[in-house]
Amino acid sequence: MKQVIPILLRVTGLRFIFVRFHHSRLRAALRLMRRFGADTQMPVWCSARFRRHQRALQWLGFLVEREFTLTNRMIFGREPYVLFRELMSARFPDGCWSCAYAGKRVLVIAPRTRDS
C-alpha cells in the first residue's frame, strides 16, 4: 500500500506539481533562515518549516539521504565544516541540501543525481 501512492502521483502527473510546490517553499524557508543569520537567533518555527518541506521532498523522491564515513580524517572544528559546506553549495547552488557531521560520519540530504 505504501508504494501505491507514489505510483499514482507519478502516473497522474501530480508528483511534478507537489515537487515544484515543496521545492519553492523550501527555497522560501531557506531565504527566511538566511535573514535570521546564526542558528542561535533563528526561531524554531523557521527551521521546522525548512525540515517539513525537506521531508516532503524526500518522500516524493526528489531528495535522498546518504551517510558517508570519512576514511582519511575527521571533521573537527569549524574550518573543515565551512569548507565542506562551500563545496556542497557549489554542487547544489539552489540551497536544497543539508548536512550534519559527527566525527568521521557525515549525513547529507541532497537532490537525487542521475547516477544514484
Q: What is the reported pTM?
A: 0.77
Q: Which pLDDT belongs to residue 81?
A: 75
User: CA separation (Å) from 41 to 13, 36, 37, 44?
Assistant: 40, 6, 7, 9
Provide the residue ranges of all domains of the chain, joining segments of one domain with +: 1-61, 63-116
What cell does 40 get?
542561535
Q: Which pLDDT belongs to residue 53?
A: 94
Taking only the tens of pLDDT, the chain with its 116 residues reads 567 777 777 778 888 889 999 999 999 988 888 887 766 677 888 889 999 999 999 998 899 999 988 887 776 777 777 887 888 888 888 778 888 877 788 888 988 875 44
User: SS3 breakdown of the chain: % helix, strand, coil, rounded to 5?
Assistant: 55, 15, 30
